[in-house]
Amino acid sequence: MPLPACLRRCARLLYCIPVTIIIMVVMWSYYAYVVHFCWMVFLCLFHMCFGMFSWSFWKTLSTPPSSPSVEFQLSSSDSLLYEQEHGGMEKSQILLEISQKLPVHTRTAARAIRFCHHCQLIKPDRCHHCSVCQMCVLKMDHHCPCMFRLNNCIGFSNYKFFMLFLLYSLLYCLLIVTTVTPTFIQLWLGKLFDSCVKLHVLFLTLVSGMFAVTLCFLLFFHIWLLTSNKTTLEWLSVPFFADGPASEAFDVGVQANFLQVFGKKKSLWPLPVSSSQGDGHSFPLRWQMSSHSHSVMNGNGHYAMEGSVVSPEGVSVTVALDD
């Protein structure tokens, strides 16, 4: 049941709090570092990291998640026909006929066609419904991590920006820690007497170090996900296909996996600008790309693994509806 309008507004205000805290911490770190540790060489590196961090953070925060195109939604006539049917098999047949025209391979654990009751659409591969955004998100990775709560869904449209945000955030923190450490050692040895500088040195070192450790684990985790072509949701729950689960179904090699997110133009890799391949609705499958595995065509005109029984005839198809 959807939340009342007043509760949704309150929830949106609460979601803004973590973002506001991050912005305040970053602005304080800028003041403390630039005003109290204004060494020219370090300032050049600092402003480079600060600029790229701010850019990627803003792009991650402001880029809306992509939703499936209209071809995945039920038409007015199909929706009316679907609602009029009361039997599961009849509903299954309607969705099966519609899905035959779409590049859909994934199923639920019950081998069901993935259908979103809220959005009234057949979910594309790797697409999931976000209860916070109240929409289906293409190649959804996650929403609102506990540490860096960005109040936005991370998916196909902004995953590259999120990766760069993690990278530049880590570089930003490491630069502060490494350049402030000598002054921190002086503070530790009792050789620093300026009380104002003491306060900034202490908090810069502790806050930057804490964030650096967290970011390091998070960045390397997402690098592993990127190189294996998995989303956080797929890591938590293995995607299912017509013939069963396949945890490495979208893994087409480290290089190809990387290019899917960052694109082929190397000059755009370090920049938070759109360069990802594809449209977010369909993705190459491992058994399609492998020259050693034999692929067969299913009844929809799409590929499936050898041994799969995927033609409409003789297949019992069920429908899973989102609650």
**From 6, 49, 127, 144, the catalytic residue:** 144
144 catalytic? Reply is yes
Cα–Cα dist 147/216, whole Å: 13
Cα–Cα dist 206/108, whole Å: 45
Residues annotated as catalytic (active site), given as ranges: 144
